[in-house]
Amino acid sequence: MYAYFKFRNRSSRSRAGLNQWSTRWLLVFSLFASSAANAVDMLDGKLQLHGFITQGMINTTGNNFLGKSRDDISYDFREVGLNATYRALPQLQFSTQLISRKAGENDNGELRIGHAFVDWTVASGDWGSSGVRLGRVRVPYGLYAETGDVAFTRDSAILPQPIYFDVTRRLQKSADGLSLYHNAVSDYGNFGIKYYLGYPQADGKSTEATFLGKDMPGRLDSKLTQLVNFSFDSNNGQWRLGLTAANVKMAYDRKATDSLSSGDITLVPYLLSAQYNAEKWSLTAEYLLEFLEFKGFGPLMDSKTSADGFYVQAAYRPASKWEVFTRYDAFYRDRSDRHGRDWQATTGLPDFMLYSKDWSAGVRYDVNESFSLRAEAHRINGAGWLSPLENSNPAALEKSWDMLILLASYRF
């Protein structure tokens, strides 16, 4: 799935600059934390504005994650977003999001459109509702892809990497096309189905480096992609179940100076999701099976492989403002070579580049409804989901490494 190459580090921010950014954001958070804020309502409630700011500090041993975190503190994890919804008619709503995300070498912090779509409820009643969304829509992938931008919607500082890969985040989050949805209300709960047809956001050096090994001279673009999501939510809120399947297609268009031929990439993921919620605790698990094919790149790169990954997580809320969690997750980039022995014999690269196993635990404290603080620790074995943009030298990778994350988040 990956190949590794050496290339120039494009980050130009100095350590002094990072410290200035951290001081600035911590000052902003301290001001926001003094009082809770609500959404901004305008036009008699027809127009609503929401926003969020998240700043993280990450320190790792052995490998870099979301910045130059190895044996130092990285402040290169930051999410800032503004959401707007306008209810033009009872059955017609417009939604958009502007987002700036800095995530080490994977996202550069530029302001872009996260989503922008029109939602038309074609029919609704006691039986449920049916509708269509058109534009840059949210991809209904798993339990968290549609809402994971806002830190308050997730239990941990970072989502489980074997399912919600940060290196291919744009590919999973939103896409240009249309989405059809149907929700059916029953005595047992709500059954939902969403069908998506369109073009995911495959452009960007992080996605390109994930599949091709580095930021190549040519361009990687998505082709027409299909996705279907089935969900069930019980009436009492205890159970959330889901199944997601997709057929993601991408094409690489080489340049004249490119050492790589043009080719096609097909990614077919199947994702099972389950969550149980009680009054003070929750159990969550997701399992991913995906098939990957490279075609047209030449005999050295053309291949068919399959990967899988999962996580199991328990969260406990001892008091209204406190939550603790623990999680185990694992990811294997080649199901036929889970320990990477064949990979190492063929390429000479470390076997642990083909897998990752992560034990993590953390705590969350909600100062008020708008401001939240988190801390979590990870003990990781392997480098299967690390970014090649931040870890370009395989010889420098370490098999066993630790990670500490501190996170502050504000929303209105």
pLDDT in tens, 10-52: 333 434 444 444 444 444 544 444 444 566 767 777 899 999 9
CATH number for 174:
2.40.160.10
Q: Across residues 177-202, what is the average pLDDT?
A: 94
CB 261 within 8 A of CB 254: yes
pLDDT value, residue 210: 86
In-domain check, residue 9: no
In-domain check, residue 213: yes
In-domain check, residue 179: yes
Q: Across residues 187-202, what is the average pLDDT?
A: 92
pLDDT of residue 285 exceeding 60, the answer is: yes
pLDDT value, residue 37: 53
pLDDT value, residue 8: 29
pLDDT of residue 7 exceeding 50, the answer is: no
Q: Across residues 184-204, what is the average pLDDT?
A: 91
pLDDT in tens, 102-151: 988 888 888 899 899 999 999 999 999 999 999 999 988 999 888 767 78
pTM of the entire predicted model: 0.87
Task: Please give the residue range of the domain that contains residue 299.
Answer: 47-411
pLDDT in tens, 212-234: 887 778 888 899 999 999 999 99
pLDDT of residue 9 exceeding 60, the answer is: no
Instruction: Return mean pLDDT, the chain.
Output: 87
pLDDT value, residue 106: 83
Q: Across residues 237-241, what is the average pLDDT?
A: 93
* Percent share of the chain, pLDDT over 70: 90
pLDDT in tens, 354-383: 999 999 999 999 999 899 999 999 999 999
In-domain check, residue 148: yes
In-domain check, residue 113: yes
pLDDT value, residue 16: 44
In-domain check, residue 126: yes
In-domain check, residue 8: no
Report the domain count for the chain. 1
pLDDT value, residue 269: 96
In-domain check, residue 273: yes
Give the number of other Cβ atoms within 10 Å of residue 291's Cβ.
15
